[in-house]
Structure formats: structure tokens, C-alpha cells
């Protein structure tokens, strides 16, 4: 039975390798046309014209000896081409590195493959790397390029692309698209425990951010069992951190102290978001906010929450000091929201102007980021201001808009 299993694994790998040999044929044909050489001129003394034609049209798997001779004749750098067997090995290695969130190991892999000419499998590996280091701009470029070559992928490569694409969409906060993508991975899942663990971890993040907590818990339990089995401390840590965030989404009250173990091995971006989410429901948000990393717009949001707390607590000196920090940092990053303006409106009790600013500037950003939790907080503030002005119908309309948005995000997109 074991022999049958090993033979089947070898057969599937061979089938995957042969599928990607077509990319080599396309590369050879492109180079030949660039040089304006005929098939006869390239093939003479190496192979028949028919053999070369079949290589270029992906009808046969090229013999490596013939390939090297053909490349030499067309003055192609042999160090710039990699074979399907090697590409698939690199792809499998990328999954393991992504699974363990081994950034240094993935960087070494990236540097190894970066010298090669274009290959859709190598692009998928690059997408995984850019997601791991949170380089959303390069990830966007690779993501867009890779989706032009979907027909060049067999099932295994397609499965990994869908998986990394889901993490990409989570990274840009497009949870609805991420859900559509990840829910089409299941039928293509290979018998690979690491892929299955990442698949369920991805679902955990998506469902949690869409406030579908029952589904998030179910997927998360599978993922964490697999991570435990592989002693994957980094991913386990991440999951517990996100569990605490999702508990806040459900109305839970955080501890009045920071669990520093959860802040190990996570990025500054994740750290700041975790601390801010906890601070929104903590009686003394400073307990969390004082641990923020001064980096990115999330830090500015944290400073705003800190200043807001001091204002409501009538700690004017601390309020002014925090506003000065906001002012200094504001000019460094040019944020989309003018937090000082919001605080000024709050301090002067100019609630109608505050409502207008929230509607026109803050609400659209929360919607774009698909941040249901903060969208709800903003909507509650807007509705309260309208209710205080006896504009009950308008107040209810904004609550209805929030409910409609929530439903639109949570509804499952069916793909035939």
C-alpha cells in the first residue's frame, strides 16, 4: 500500500512537471523570434525541425541536453532558466516557509529565484513573500500580473495561488474578495497538512473580520490544532492575538493589563491594531495605547484615542501634550483623516460639524477598509448626534445603512 501511495505521489509530481515544460517552449520561441531565426537555423546539427516545433508548442518534454544546445545557439543565459521540477520544489518550500512565517528563510528563497526569467510559479512564490513582509505595493503588482496567466497553472499551482491571493486580499482589507477566493480552494486542496492549516487560518481571519464568529472559531480550531502539531509558535501566537481582537468585536471586555506574550513575533502593524482594538473597550485605554509603535497611520489613530480619553476625563494638560504629538506625527505621514480637527470639534462641542466630518471623511474610509467594527462605532456616534438633535429618522437611516453594509459583506458569493 505504501508503495502504491509513493508511486501515485511520484506520478502526480511528474504530471505537474510536464505541464510546466510548456513555459520553456514558449521562452525558446520568444527568443528565436527576437533573433529573427528560423526553426531550421536553430535546429540544424542539434535536432530536427519537427522536434523543435513540438518543443515550442508544448507537445513534448524537451531533453535537457538538446535544451542546453538550443539555448547556447540562441545565446541564452542558462543561469536565467529553471526547470519545472525545480520550480515545484521552490513552490513547496515557499509553503513551508509561509506556514512557519519564516521571513529570513523566505528572503533567501526569494533571492534564489529572483535571477530567473518569468515563470508563473515563481511569481506565485514572490506573491507569498511580499505578503509575508507586508509589502502591499509589490504584492499588488505581482498579484495583477499572475492573474493574467491562470490558464498556465495546473491544480497544485492554482491551489497555492488561491491561498496566497486570499492572504493578499486580507492584507489590503478586502475580506469579501478574500472569502470568495478561499472558499474556492477547498475543492482543490491537496493532501498537504500545511496547506490545510493555512487554508483554515485564512478562513479564521476572514470570518473573524466579517463578524462571522461561529465560522471563525470552527476554522480557527482546525488551524490551531495543525499549528500545535507542528510546534508553530509564531502562528499560534498570531491566532491567540486575533482571537482577543475578535472577542472585542463581539463586545467582550479586555483585561486591564497587556499580555506581552501575544506581542511576540508579530509585525508592528499587527501589534498596533491589536492594542488599538483592546483600547476601544478598555476602561483605561492608556494601559494599551502606551505600548504602540510610532509607525504608520494606526499609531496616529492610537494617539487620537489617547487624546480623546484625556479630553473626556478632563485631563487637559495630558490632552494638549497628546495633541502636540499628533500634530508632529501628522506632518510626517499626511494621513487621510485630520484627527486634530476631529478633537477640536469634540472639545468645542460642535457636534453637527463633527457629524458632517464623520459622514464625509471618516465613514468612507471605514467602508473602503471593510472594517465593520470601527464602522459600527462611527455609525453609533453619528446616530447619537442626530438623535440628540431630534432627527430620529436620519439617525435610524444611518443604522439601517450600517446593517445593509454588514449584510452585503457577510453574504456568500456563489460561483458556478
pLDDT in tens, 340-377: 999 999 999 999 999 999 999 999 999 999 999 999 99
Structure confidence by residue, pLDDT tens digits, 59-98: 776 777 787 788 888 888 766 566 777 888 899 999 999 9
How far apart are the two ends of the chain, measured CA to CA in Å?
37
How does residue 156 score in pLDDT terms, banded at 50, 70 and 90?
confident
Question: For all residues of the chain together, what is the average pLDDT?
Answer: 87
Reported in sequence order, the residue ranges of 121-181 that DSSP labels E, i.e. its strands, are: none
Residue 14 scores a pLDDT above 70: no
pLDDT reported for residue 12: 52
The pLDDT confidence band at residue 147, using thresholds 50, 70 and 90, is confident
Split at pLDDT 50, 70, 90, the class of 20 is low
Residue 267: phi, psi to the nearest 5? -75, 165
Provide mean pLDDT across the span 32-52: 89
Rg for the chain, CA atoms, rounded: 27
Distance CA 363, CA 371 (A): 10
Q: Where is pLDDT greater, at 16 or 377? A: 377
pLDDT of residue 114: 85
Residue 44 clears pLDDT 70, i.e. is over it: yes
% of the chain with per-residue pLDDT over 70: 91
Q: Is 364 exposed, middle or buried (0-12, 13-18, 19+ CB in 10 A)?
A: exposed
Q: Looking at residue 118, what is its pLDDT?
A: 61
pLDDT, position 395: 92
Residue 5 pLDDT greater than 80, yes or no? no
Contact 181, 166 (CB under 8 A): yes
State the pLDDT at residue 15.
Answer: 56
Binned at pLDDT 50, 70 and 90, residue 333 comes out as: confident
Residue 8 is predicted with a pLDDT of: 44
Lowest mean pLDDT among 61-75, 223-237, 243-257, 385-399: 61-75
Q: Quickly tell me which residue has 495561488 as its cell.
A: 161
User: Rounded to an integer, what distance in angstroms lies between the CA atom of residue 305 and that of residue 326?
Assistant: 11
Q: List the domains of the chain with CATH numbers.
A: 2-81 (1.10.260.40), 85-231 (1.25.40), 253-348 (1.25.40), 350-416 (no CATH)
Cα 48 to chain center, whole Å?
48
**Does the pLDDT of residue 275 top 80, yes or no?**
yes
Q: CA distances (Å), 414 to each of 18, 88, 196, 363, 407, in order?
A: 33, 31, 22, 28, 15
Categorize the per-residue pLDDT at 219 as very low, low, confident or very high, splitting at 50, 70 and 90: very high
Residue with the bigger pLDDT between 10 and 35: it is: 35
Provide the pLDDT confidence category of residue 16 given band limits of 50, 70 and 90.
low
pTM: 0.84
Q: Looking at the predicted structure, is the pLDDT value of residue 9 above 50?
A: no
Mean pLDDT, residues 22-33: 77
* pLDDT band of 2, cuts 50, 70, 90: very low
Amino acid at each position: 500500500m505504501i508503495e502504491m501511495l509513493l508511486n501515485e505521489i511520484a506520478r502526480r509530481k511528474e504530471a505537474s512537471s510536464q505541464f510546466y515544460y510548456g513555459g520553456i517552449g514558449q521562452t525558446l520561441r520568444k527568443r528565436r523570434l527576437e533573433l529573427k531565426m528560423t526553426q531550421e537555423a536553430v535546429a540544424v546539427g542539434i535536432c530536427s525541425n519537427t522536434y523543435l516545433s513540438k518543443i515550442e508548442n508544448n507537445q513534448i518534454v524537451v531533453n535537457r541536453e538538446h535544451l542546453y544546445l538550443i539555448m547556447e545557439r540562441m545565446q541564452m543565459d542558462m543561469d536565467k532558466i529553471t526547470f519545472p521540477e525545480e520550480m515545484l520544489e521552490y513552490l513547496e518550500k515557499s509553503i513551508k516557509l509561509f506556514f512557519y512565517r519564516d521571513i529570513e528563510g523566505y528572503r533567501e528563497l526569494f533571492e534564489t529565484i529572483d535571477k530567473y526569467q518569468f515563470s508563473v510559479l515563481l511569481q506565485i512564490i514572490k506573491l507569498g513573500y511580499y505578503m509575508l513582509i507586508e509589502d502591499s505595493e509589490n504584492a499588488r503588482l505581482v498579484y495583477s500580473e499572475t492573474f493574467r496567466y491562470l490558464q498556465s497553472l495546473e491544480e497544485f499551482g492554482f491551489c497555492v495561488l488561491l491561498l496566497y491571493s486570499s492572504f493578499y486580499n486580507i492584507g489590503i482589507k478586502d475580506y469579501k474578495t478574500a472569502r470568495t477566493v478561499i472558499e474556492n480552494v477547498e475543492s482543490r486542496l491537496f493532501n498537504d497538512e500545511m496547506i490545510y492549516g493555512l487554508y483554515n487560518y485564512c478562513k479564521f481571519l476572514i470570518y473573524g473580520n466579517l463578524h462571522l464568529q461561529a465560522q471563525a472559531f470552527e476554522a480557527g480550531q482546525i488551524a490551531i490544532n495543525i499549528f500545535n502539531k507542528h510546534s508553530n509558535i509564531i502562528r499560534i501566537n498570531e491566532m491567540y492575538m486575533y482571537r482577543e481582537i475578535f472577542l472585542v468585536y463581539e463586545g467582550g471586555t479586555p483585561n486591564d493589563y497587556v499580555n506581552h506574550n501575544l506581542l511576540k513575533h508579530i509585525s508592528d502593524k499587527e501589534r498596533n491594531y491589536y492594542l488599538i482594538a483592546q483600547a476601544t473597550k478598555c476602561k483605561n485605554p492608556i494601559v494599551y495605547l502606551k505600548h504602540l509603535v510610532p509607525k504608520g497611520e494606526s499609531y496616529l489613530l492610537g494617539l487620537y484615542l489617547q487624546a480623546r480619553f484625556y479630553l473626556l476625563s478632563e485631563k487637559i494638560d495630558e490632552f494638549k501634550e497628546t495633541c502636540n504629538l499628533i500634530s508632529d506625527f501628522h506632518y510626517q505621514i499626511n494621513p487621510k483623516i485630520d484627527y486634530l480637527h476631529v478633537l477640536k470639534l469634540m472639545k468645542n462641542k460642535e457636534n453637527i460639524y463633527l457629524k458632517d466630518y464623520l459622514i464625509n471623511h471618516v465613514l468612507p474610509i471605514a467602508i473602503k477598509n471593510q472594517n465593520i467594527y470601527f464602522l459600527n462605532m462611527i455609525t453609533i456616534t453619528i446616530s447619537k448626534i442626530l438623535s440628540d438633535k431630534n432627527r430620529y429618522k436620519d439617525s435610524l437611516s444611518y443604522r439601517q445603512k450600517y446593517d445593509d453594509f454588514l449584510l452585503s459583506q457577510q453574504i456568500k458569493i456563489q460561483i458556478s
